[in-house]
Chain A
């Protein structure tokens, strides 16, 4: 049995293993991803200089523009680890007090948290001297994975920034954790959701977080509903909003809208909540007609994969809905599902889908590179939906195609592509098509031309 199998609770499974080769970054990185989604702000890493690279990664993940967003670092050295870095932090904040920003997020890394730097107290002391809000987030890497970091940062942001007395905006929604999605151009998924909501006359009060002004966050309590856009992180923020402000979570417990059935179900649920059943129905029928008509004209190679043994290695946000897409829309046979996450709600959602589809693949929760490779070697799928890592991890196992959908190591998309919704289906087909083309392109010529 794989450590991390469904019978073993996630934390316990993680503790069984002493040596892993992880997919997920640390809490510090997740918190940085979240903070950098707030526009008009800057981020100060209270850390040694290496952690700044985790900030850089988060910077890219939120598609920040270096002409607008600045990231800073206290560059802690041995001195600060021995004597404490609070003075240095205060001095650094003062050093940047001229920045034209509305908020400065101060994120503490492992070192300063272990030595006991109190970043909250430093911020309180220095706050009167600066014009922008200081928002300390204690998010040392050892606190957990990047998903834990997203939850920590969302909690701080909500607790510190929401104005208590928000009047409810009718037919409104707050979007949660769109960035906890391994689609490398997840902003397109977010855009698709916003477009759908707009068509249904639903107002987005705030997005937590992506290009989100501080003012939007302050007004979160005015939202009637919340919509979680990730299966991996954000549920704690959703629960907090429900308990503190009576904000109702919608589309709870159903897979995100990837593929025909998931999209239809998700749109129907949304339409039902906002009394737009007819519009939702029309979106579904128009969308499905568009996909079929497009495929009729383009002839996707995806049609050749009937009952091909397949593996899905991804986050839960993409991986769980992809399972139905691969099974139903592409008629493939999923024989391995390896997810980065292992939370209870992820297990419940996946197991519900498997039962509904009548599938019994090998499941690995909280997978790492070692478990993925071992599972690929065991299952020997012909197609893998995953990342650049699986392209290399599946070498020697007779895998014909690795469709890179998540965590690509190089940016090869300039136009953001959604996986959600009906155009999302075409984008997934295009990814399969490109992989198919590369696979079948002649690598060498049988003879030389004469000219």
Chain B
């Protein structure tokens, strides 16, 4: 991209002058893309913006993400058909550290067939069949899910046939999921696991009125995703009088999944993660899926709640709840409008990086009168979330996007010095800026710390979220002149001395 070259034409007329100024002042060497979400999507779709550096950032593999979903079902044995390395990361990190330590989940097994060289040569199907029987005897689970890994996938072990055969020999359902790490991107693991879960859903014995499933959760029971957002959603549904059959798969039971088709509607805590399962259940079982974005801010929360309540014929009740809750957060809404009006909100999500949250925040700040600029959403993640991004575009979310060179740097996400420098440069090019991201960044402007790792300001969804985000904005603006930590900055990016 040449100097002063505008990579694309923006639908926002006023973007032009900003683009020119930023591209000129920063030097286009640092800017890889500057335009709208729509334009970025086009470049990703045509393959123009997919990073070509093989050695650059590596997200999780299909196996990991499949495990994340399956581990969210109670009393399941995820039976990993592979060597011991594959289950160890997930069982240490997801099971013990996240589920047992902070989600109140009892220790449940993550079993493994521990394939070795001889199995690689002679095949592991026999051992797998025995392992299923042994797993049933040892753990008495409600469900066994065989997860294949690179090894078992390459040597051609037929995990589905073994699952069918094994199911006849044990007292619970046995399912198999082809989740070889090389077999797809990280998103495919989530989606295939959700799809597999559908096999457990039985024809409805009754239609349960005013009852929904929440789709798209993973990593075991609440709280999911490190925060209390799911609790807030459940609270709001409860206020309206809507019952939840199952949070799939966030601590649901096999019985709840069996009865998942009895609900009137599916909803999701995040449109993106629930979308695949929601669409499939709609297509196959005729259960409507409430398509709404993440409930950040008043408008999106209202939309989310009405999106669930209306199809259930509970619009009136929902509006009452919305009115009551809105009244309660009125001072916070007024503060947010006053604080953000006319500002440029630069949004960057580096923690568990994904574009959906950044885009939801863009929508929220616009609601409060700020102009959103989203930086460094990785094109890789855009590619994987194409249907959700398209949905957001349809709803009018199309903010200005800047991608910098540091995003495509060699190596892993740990090394973020370059993007930090670029962020600081970008912020200098705008007037009256406020940064929505996390405190690991040091731009020369107020920083709203949206870290999901700080329970002091959770939830961020819904009406509870409005209070917390208002508090975070207040902290950022009122304390903008307090010194930032030289120590923590040095830790993250190295000492400047």
Interface residues of A (CB under 8 A from B): 14, 17-22, 24-29, 44, 47-54, 56-57, 66-67, 70-78, 80-81, 88, 91-92, 95-96, 99, 109-111, 114-115, 140-146, 369-370, 373, 388-389, 391-393, 395, 407, 409-410
Q: Given A29-B85, A392-B96, A18–B127 Cβ distance below 8 Å? A: yes
Q: Is the CB of B119 within 8 A of A142?
A: yes
Closest chain B residue to A52 by CB distance? B58
Q: Given A50-B60, A369-B107, A392-B107, A141–B86 Cβ distance below 8 Å? A: yes
Selected from A92, A111, A145, A407, the residue in CB contact (under 8 A) with B55 is: A92
Contacts of B93 in A (CB 8 A): 409
Q: Is the CB of A75 within 8 A of B96?
A: no
The distance in angstroms between the C-alpha atoms of A18 and B146, with both chains bound, is 13
Interface pairs (27), CB distance under 8 Å: A20-B111, A21-B111, A25-B85, A26-B84, A49-B61, A49-B186, A50-B61, A50-B63, A50-B64, A52-B58, A53-B64, A57-B89, A66-B415, A70-B411, A70-B415, A72-B55, A74-B55, A75-B54, A81-B154, A96-B410, A114-B151, A141-B84, A142-B115, A144-B116, A388-B101, A389-B96, A393-B107
Contacts of A369 in B (CB 8 A): 107, 109
**A/B pair count, beta carbons within 8 Å:** 189
Q: Is the CB of A22 within 8 A of B114?
A: yes
B interface bracket (residues with beta carbon within 8 Å of A):
35 or more
The distance in angstroms between the C-alpha atoms of A391 and B96, with both chains bound, is 10
The distance in angstroms between the C-alpha atoms of A14 and B180, with both chains bound, is 24
The distance in angstroms between the C-alpha atoms of A143 and B85, with both chains bound, is 11
Selected from B114, B132, B412, B494, the residue in CB contact (under 8 A) with A67 is: B494
Q: Is the CB of A19 within 8 A of B61?
A: no
Interface residues of B (CB under 8 A from A): 53-55, 58-64, 79, 82-89, 91-93, 96-97, 100-101, 106-107, 109-117, 119-120, 127-128, 130-135, 138-139, 149-151, 154-155, 180-183, 186, 410-412, 414-415, 417, 494
Contacts of A141 in B (CB 8 A): 82-86, 151
The distance in angstroms between the C-alpha atoms of A141 and B91, with both chains bound, is 16
The distance in angstroms between the C-alpha atoms of A136 and B130, with both chains bound, is 36
Majority secondary structure, B binding face: helix
Q: Is the CB of B154 within 8 A of A18?
A: no
Q: Is the CB of A19 within 8 A of B149?
A: no
The distance in angstroms between the C-alpha atoms of A409 and B91, with both chains bound, is 11
The distance in angstroms between the C-alpha atoms of A28 and B150, with both chains bound, is 13
Identify the interface centre among A47, A56, A72: most chain B CB within 10 Å of its CB: A72
Contacts of A144 in B (CB 8 A): 116
The distance in angstroms between the C-alpha atoms of A81 and B119, with both chains bound, is 18
The distance in angstroms between the C-alpha atoms of A114 and B112, with both chains bound, is 19
Chain A: minimal CB distance from B59 (Å): 6
Closest chain A residue to B64 by CB distance? A50
Q: Is the CB of B58 within 8 A of A410?
A: no
Selected from B60, B82, B88, the residue in CB contact (under 8 A) with A49 is: B60
Contacts of B127 in A (CB 8 A): 18
Chain A: minimal CB distance from B277 (Å): 23
Q: Is the CB of B79 within 8 A of A19?
A: yes
Selected from B101, B106, B138, B181, the residue in CB contact (under 8 A) with A48 is: B181
Q: Is the CB of B138 within 8 A of A26?
A: no
The distance in angstroms between the C-alpha atoms of A11 and B128, with both chains bound, is 18
Closest chain A residue to B416 by CB distance? A66
Chain A: minimal CB distance from B186 (Å): 8
Selected from A54, A78, A145, the residue in CB contact (under 8 A) with B89 is: A54
Q: Is the CB of B54 within 8 A of A78?
A: no
Chain A: minimal CB distance from B455 (Å): 15
Q: Is the CB of A49 within 8 A of B58?
A: yes
Q: Is the CB of A395 within 8 A of B58?
A: no
Contacts of A391 in B (CB 8 A): 100
Contacts of B106 in A (CB 8 A): 392, 395
Contacts of B417 in A (CB 8 A): 67
The distance in angstroms between the C-alpha atoms of A71 and B413, with both chains bound, is 10
The distance in angstroms between the C-alpha atoms of A141 and B149, with both chains bound, is 11
Closest chain B residue to A388 by CB distance? B96
The distance in angstroms between the C-alpha atoms of A438 and B131, with both chains bound, is 39
Q: Given A49-B59, A73-B55, A19–B182 Cβ distance below 8 Å? A: no
Q: Is the CB of B415 within 8 A of A21?
A: no
Q: Is the CB of B109 within 8 A of A370?
A: yes
Contacts of A392 in B (CB 8 A): 96, 100, 106-107
Q: Is the CB of B84 within 8 A of A22?
A: yes
Closest chain B residue to A28 by CB distance? B85
Q: Is the CB of A26 within 8 A of B58?
A: no
Contacts of A370 in B (CB 8 A): 109, 111, 138-139
Q: Is the CB of B411 within 8 A of A48?
A: no
Contacts of A49 in B (CB 8 A): 58-61, 181, 186
Closest chain B residue to A54 by CB distance? B85
Identify the interface centre among B55, B112, B414: most chain A CB within 10 Å of its CB: B55
Given contacts A22-B84, A47-B181, A49-B186, 6 further A-B contacts (CB under 8 A): A18-B113, A29-B88, A48-B61, A48-B150, A49-B61, A53-B60
Chain A: minimal CB distance from B331 (Å): 29
Q: Is the CB of B88 within 8 A of A48?
A: no
Contacts of B133 in A (CB 8 A): 18
Contacts of A111 in B (CB 8 A): 150-151, 154, 181-182
Chain B: minimal CB distance from A34 (Å): 15
The distance in angstroms between the C-alpha atoms of A297 and B301, with both chains bound, is 60
Chain B: minimal CB distance from A19 (Å): 4
Contacts of B181 in A (CB 8 A): 47-51, 111
Contacts of A140 in B (CB 8 A): 83
Q: Is the CB of A20 within 8 A of B414?
A: no
6 A-B pairs closest in CB distance: A50-B61, A26-B85, A392-B107, A48-B181, A72-B55, A141-B83
Q: Is the CB of A70 within 8 A of B410?
A: yes
The distance in angstroms between the C-alpha atoms of A430 and B119, with both chains bound, is 45
Q: Is the CB of A21 within 8 A of B91?
A: yes
Contacts of B411 in A (CB 8 A): 70-72
Contacts of B97 in A (CB 8 A): 388, 409-410
Q: Given A17-B134, A25-B84, A114-B120, A77–B89 Cβ distance below 8 Å? A: no
Chain B: minimal CB distance from A350 (Å): 22
Chain B: minimal CB distance from A281 (Å): 43
The distance in angstroms between the C-alpha atoms of A80 and B130, with both chains bound, is 32
Closest chain B residue to A50 by CB distance? B61
The distance in angstroms between the C-alpha atoms of A77 and B113, with both chains bound, is 23
Chain B: minimal CB distance from A318 (Å): 18
Contacts of A410 in B (CB 8 A): 97, 101
Contacts of B62 in A (CB 8 A): 50
Contacts of A92 in B (CB 8 A): 54-55
Contacts of A21 in B (CB 8 A): 91, 109-112
The distance in angstroms between the C-alpha atoms of A410 and B180, with both chains bound, is 28
Closest chain A residue to B111 by CB distance? A19
Chain A: minimal CB distance from B497 (Å): 15
The distance in angstroms between the C-alpha atoms of A95 and B408, with both chains bound, is 13
Q: Is the CB of B415 within 8 A of A19?
A: no
The distance in angstroms between the C-alpha atoms of A27 and B114, with both chains bound, is 12
Contacts of B138 in A (CB 8 A): 19, 370
Closest chain B residue to A369 by CB distance? B109
The distance in angstroms between the C-alpha atoms of A410 and B93, with both chains bound, is 10
Closest chain B residue to A143 by CB distance? B117
Selected from A26, A28, A70, A80, the residue in CB contact (under 8 A) with B182 is: A80
Chain A: minimal CB distance from B206 (Å): 37
